[in-house]
Amino acid sequence: MGLSYNVYLNSSRIYGCKTCKTHLANHDDIASRNFRGQHGKAYLFKSVVNINQSEASERSMTTGRHVVRDISCKQCKETVGWKYDKAYEASEKYKEGMYILEAELLCTVH
């Protein structure tokens, strides 16, 4: 396997991994700030970079059952949130393919 390179975002506000400061998401890609994670406040993002994804698993969450994958920083391997693969409730389908990053696990890089 070849070398894995990090993606560097170019934006006025960039969120990174709190542990190693690796770029994870652009502020403009926030779809919603009205989410909660295990560590408190969380953001729903349309896209993120520099992550690894775990195997998909079905979980019961406050908004119903979802198929999700934990996501971790590609650089330091710290878990930073999860990705929604599937929502069973029609009202939750908008989350499919989107990512949750927990505010407590992020820092502002730029």
Q: Identify the pLDDT of residue 87.
A: 95
Q: Identify the pLDDT of residue 39.
A: 86
For the chain, the distance separating the N- and C-terminal CA atoms, rounded to the nearest angstrom, is 31
Separation between Cα atoms, residue 45 and residue 25, nearest integer Å = 8
Q: Identify the pLDDT of residue 2.
A: 59
Q: Identify the pLDDT of residue 1.
A: 53
Separation between Cα atoms, residue 81 and residue 89, nearest integer Å = 21
The stretches in the chain having pLDDT less than 50 are none
